[in-house]
Amino acid sequence: MLETKAAFPYPGSTGYLKPQGDPVRIIQRRADGRLLVQKLSPVQHLAPASSSAAVGGASRTLTAPAADVCERQIDAIETRAQQRRRAA
């Protein structure tokens, strides 16, 4: 039988953190809906999870709201036009 892919975000997957599109690896989904993620260098996010798991240490881990982690980098990067709000 074919395996079905888990819905994003799932532990072990790579995502991109808003607002600048920094690559992160998702470590854990917390009970409050936030994600525990590890910031990756631009080169690390291309490597398999097992090869870069120990690089960086705990100083590169942080929690982020699930809405701030995107599957595609283009979705995570916020441009000035998107950030501008119109006055009512």
* Upper half-sphere CA count for residue 60 (Cβ side, 13 Å): 17
- Residues contacting 26, CB < 8 A, separation 6+: 9, 10, 11, 12, 13, 14, 15, 35, 36, 37, 69
Asked whether the bond before 19 is cis by omega within 30 degrees of 0, the reply is yes
pLDDT the model gives residue 54: 47
Give the residue extent of every domain in the chain.
14-78
| Residue spans of the chain under pLDDT 50 | 52-54
